[in-house]
Structure 1
């Protein structure tokens, strides 16, 4: 384990890495229709470029802790940055959709290692008394990225070229890799447990997640219903096999004892189901604005900025809200509000000025922020000390799975309706899609309604 004192530039390096990754997760969506035109694809087929990245993140994130223990944080971060830059170059040079998807998978391979390693360095490099100051500095890029991403993506695609969406990662990533070799501490663990990794659990758990995503992708294709059901059945079988494996393994990937914690179980399911609708919005909204309503990519990017801006504005009010009304009431009612807001987008008239979208999208962003903070904190509220690491890891994987599955759900629903109604009635297809994904989020409120009224009290008792 590295004993060198942290460089004064280390927080800036960690913030740069997190900013690059957060920017990359939001910059692509507004440019998808223009990329589809250049690649001679329908915009409704472009979800694979987003889903591939999200699912690669989700599937490979469990490797983070083991890789850092085995090879050291400096090597892991350096190699991950190089892989991420390589993936960005491949995406920028993509001549067709399959090549773009391949590049996004390579990007996700690097991005998966960058999700936890910088946070691990932060926790190990600084004393607990300094953590709040460091976290407040590093968290700002994570908040700015989702605001800047859609705007920058729209303007680059419209006024320069969509290739620059990926090429801007090259100088940032190369500079971060150079700094990593110079100033990043090299934390690792040489003990015997550092060499253990539940390989079979990783294969079975990841295979089930990949199977469900593939089944959803097959569902909208003509004459593929049987194949979709077969793949979904295989995914269920893989997860059943993981359950059997984890039951008898001394060190499973994710221990089954986590699911004996009621708030963790409800929080995990609520996270997954409610995010299916919420996660579809960053993909569906730019398509609605550009394909359905005929706005330019730059306008679509500006219209999405209030969603992320509201998330920052409402943050200071989340804890007092939970203290006043409790997790059960806030999460169950807030989920219904989000579902109704998503469904209300179905009733937008085709000639509506884009400025009229700002208030409802701002409210949606505020409600999303409350939802994410509440769901994440209640999920880990009652975990014991020895469960914190694996529980937090599973929650992060669950969130990335929800992003990928939510985009796949939104895209599949939109494609099914557009195939049924025809391209001339694409606006109606968007309407039915927003109602469906909004209903999905609305119905997830029954999960949070099963919380006890005092659940989460240990999280807010010190807020008075």
Structure 2
């Protein structure tokens, strides 16, 4: 499908800012030891910088749709790029733990507006029959960014200063800001809309508490009684928000009425399972390669990179699959490929060839992007334009929370199996704990069979037209 120049530029702008935001969510991980040395603190204390970013995302993502409707997509989008870029500069200039934690929180605020509004712009610019290809080109960088983040962070911290982890955002931000100002239209849906303050406070409290709980559970940094209290506040706030949202319906900051749409409901649930099953792999594999196989961060990053290559390779094939088989079959049968890939990863050992590891990672990236891009399109095919901002806010909030769950869940699984096998993570036999973790994650992806069974054969048909 050939797009006119303005749409191609729009896709490039959206994909670039999403890549930048997703890259920043993981790039800091491998640089933590170097940052800790600079600040003369323990590496574990750098959790504060990671957590402040995640909590800021959790709090402010729900407000993105309302802000775009009231002030316009272009204004909020360009403002978010500006905030993200400036905060990146100050993150790179930070000289203490608290400085970087503060500016990472500010960066998270920019990211909380940037990615959901980018998704909203996509939904409004591209008609339903163009969404499959647009989604593939725009959101593929999201998958690649999270995968390549640890590798790029490792290279930068090894050969330059960790500060360039943040400074690399400056040219990307400036270029995207220039083109966004020129090519993105400022579409205002309802300038008189009022913010659902009660819903904002409830969901912000819930998601920030749950994010804090997921980030620190099992790490003995925060006492368990305090951590479980935080979890309780998060759960109660979530229940109160759901009751509040169901009462005021379309006026809620996160419109739960959208779950009445079958395609939105199933696409969202399918994405949650996909995230939980595969989202923790970019964390587990470096641990396996570095702690068990004694490989360097650079080599372990290179071994994971084929996941990104597989995702890029699938980019040109996925629309043809959807056109030929339809969303129902793709979402039903693609998880088999993910299942096989995870089982292959479970058999990796110290004697495994690099080629076996590379093929396993390639296949996982190949099938994962097929499933997630199909879900990403299906979510929006039946959403009325007037509800597009509600849909992107709700979808982005669930995606962010699912991403956090995936990492926490994978870590908890690994910890459980280490205890079950009476091993610690550095012991030679700890590889069995990794194996059981991968097998469990492989089993979880099979839940997709039950979720996709709720789809009708022709669901999403409008989006598959013209993909041949």
**1:101-140 per-position Cα deviation (integer Å, ceiling 9, x unaligned):** 5443222111222224456667889999999999999778
> What is the 5 A alignment of 1:433-452?
433-452=437-456
**Is this contact kept in 1: 2:214–2:404, CA < 8 A?**
no
**C-alpha spacing 1:221/1:168, structure 2 compared with 1 (3 Å):** closer
In structure 1, how many angstroms separate the alpha carbons of the residues matched to 2:64 and 2:284?
31
Residue matched to 1:302: 302
Is the counterpart of residue 207 in structure 1 residue 205 in structure 2? Answer: yes
> What is the 5 A alignment of 1:29-108?
29-31=29-31, 52-71=52-71, 76-77=76-77, 79-92=79-92, 100-108=100-108
Secondary structure in 2 matching 1:193 = coil
In structure 2, how many angstroms separate the alpha carbons of the residues matched to 1:68 and 1:407?
30
Residue matched to 1:424: 427
Residue matched to 2:239: 240
In structure 2, how many angstroms separate the alpha carbons of the residues matched to 1:129 and 1:270?
21
**Is this contact kept in 1: 2:68–2:389, CA < 8 A?**
no
**Is this contact kept in 1: 2:275–2:403, CA < 8 A?**
yes
Residue matched to 1:166: 166
How far residue 344 of structure 1 moved from its aligned partner, in angstroms, is: 3.6
**1:173-196 per-position Cα deviation (integer Å, ceiling 9, x unaligned):** 35655x3797476836496534x1
Please, what is the CA RMSD of the aligned residues?
4.3
- Aligned positions, number: 457
Is the counterpart of residue 255 in structure 1 residue 258 in structure 2? Answer: no
Residue matched to 2:3: none
**Is this contact kept in 2: 1:29–1:282, CA < 8 A?**
no
**C-alpha spacing 1:88/1:408, structure 2 compared with 1 (3 Å):** farther
In structure 1, how many angstroms separate the alpha carbons of the residues matched to 2:247 and 2:135?
39
> What is the 5 A alignment of 1:49-448?
52-71=52-71, 76-77=76-77, 79-92=79-92, 100-117=100-117, 145=145, 149-173=149-173, 179=178, 183=182, 187=186, 189=188, 192-194=191-193, 196-221=194-219, 227-249=226-248, 251-417=251-417, 421=424, 423-425=426-428, 426-448=430-452
In structure 2, how many angstroms separate the alpha carbons of the residues matched to 1:136 and 1:347?
31
Q: Which runs of 5+ in 2 are unaligned?
A: 1-5
Is the counterpart of residue 455 in structure 1 residue 459 in structure 2? Answer: yes
Secondary structure in 1 matching 2:24 = helix
**Is this contact kept in 1: 2:30–2:154, CA < 8 A?**
yes
**C-alpha spacing 1:49/1:382, structure 2 compared with 1 (3 Å):** same
How far residue 365 of structure 1 moved from its aligned partner, in angstroms, is: 0.6
Q: Which moved more, 1:226-235 or 1:255-264?
A: 226-235
**C-alpha spacing 1:452/1:227, structure 2 compared with 1 (3 Å):** farther
How far residue 198 of structure 1 moved from its aligned partner, in angstroms, is: 1.3
In structure 2, how many angstroms separate the alpha carbons of the residues matched to 1:373 and 1:9?
20
How far residue 417 of structure 1 moved from its aligned partner, in angstroms, is: 4.9
Q: Which runs of 5+ in 1 are unaligned?
A: 1-5
In structure 1, how many angstroms separate the alpha carbons of the residues matched to 2:216 and 2:133?
47
**Is this contact kept in 2: 1:208–1:236, CA < 8 A?**
yes
**C-alpha spacing 1:227/1:327, structure 2 compared with 1 (3 Å):** farther
**Is this contact kept in 2: 1:218–1:224, CA < 8 A?**
no
**Is this contact kept in 2: 1:271–1:399, CA < 8 A?**
yes
**C-alpha spacing 1:60/1:10, structure 2 compared with 1 (3 Å):** same
In structure 1, how many angstroms separate the alpha carbons of the residues matched to 2:446 and 2:348?
19
**C-alpha spacing 1:135/1:311, structure 2 compared with 1 (3 Å):** closer
In structure 1, how many angstroms separate the alpha carbons of the residues matched to 2:343 and 2:441?
7
In structure 2, how many angstroms separate the alpha carbons of the residues matched to 1:275 and 1:145?
15
How far residue 398 of structure 1 moved from its aligned partner, in angstroms, is: 1.3
**Is this contact kept in 2: 1:62–1:397, CA < 8 A?**
yes
TM-score (norm 2): 0.79
TM-score (norm 1): 0.79
